[in-house]
Amino acid sequence: MGELILILVSAMLVTNFTLFYFLGLCPFMGVSKNVGTALRMGLANIFVMTITSLVASFLNLYVLPYAPYLRIIAFIVVIASLVQIVEMTIKKVSPALFRELGIFLPLITTNCAILGLAVFQTGRGYTFVDGLFYALGAGLGVTLALVLMASLREQTELSDVPAVARNMGLVLILAGTLSLAFMGFAGLFSS
């Protein structure tokens, strides 16, 4: 269990998927100055990542040994289709939940973070359970980054930002500072 917690926390903090691996930047840059939206986006992320993790483990174990070169195609196609199906299911089963999360699902299905998760996870040879915790950690990390960024941007809305920075320059500098802060988590688990 300790091992699993290590995987989870390190994926969340030490190698944060957004701030360390640069995955999932499109929504990160875009998702707003609204903490609520960011949170929901993050939760949808966690959801998709967990599913992806299971699917990727499954594919890696049973399908890919026969055709390792189909890895990328298989991942992307299966993940996209699966999330589609899940989205439709949620819509039918629980419209409330769908209204909360569902509309973000297509937005994040094939974004870098999800495919990146699949690729990293299989590259490390994680088992089903390892992969699940890894995905949870990654998702939590992405959510954390999203929420932090959203709150920062909410603040900057009220500040006097110089004209040159009024484009994404400011957002990136903020992101860089966040990333710098997260570097402090390195060494959290030392032997």
> Contact between 157 and other proteins (CB under 8 A)?
yes
> Contact between 5 and other proteins (CB under 8 A)?
no
> What residues numbered 90-129 form the site for other proteins, per CB under 8 A?
91-92, 94-96, 98-100, 102-104, 106-112, 115-116, 119-120, 122-125
Q: Give helix 128-157 / helix 2-9 axis angle, nearest 10°.
A: 30
Instruction: Please compute Rg for the chain using Cα positions.
Output: 17
> Contact between 155 and other proteins (CB under 8 A)?
no
DSSP 8-46: HHIIIIIT-TTTTS--SHHHHHHS-S-HHHHHHHHHHHH
| Residues whose CB is less than 8 angstroms from the CB of residue 172 and which lie 6 or more positions away in sequence, other chains included | 29
> Contact between 60 and other proteins (CB under 8 A)?
yes
> Contact between 35 and other proteins (CB under 8 A)?
yes
Q: Which of 70, 128, 129, 155 is close enough to bind other proteins by CB under 8 A?
A: 70
Q: Which of 5, 84, 128, 184 is close enough to bind other proteins by CB under 8 A?
A: 84
> Contact between 148 and other proteins (CB under 8 A)?
no
Angstrom distances, CA of residue 167 to CA of 33, 44, 154 = 14, 27, 15
The identity of residue 64, as a single letter, is L
Nearer to other proteins, 46 or 83 (CB): 83
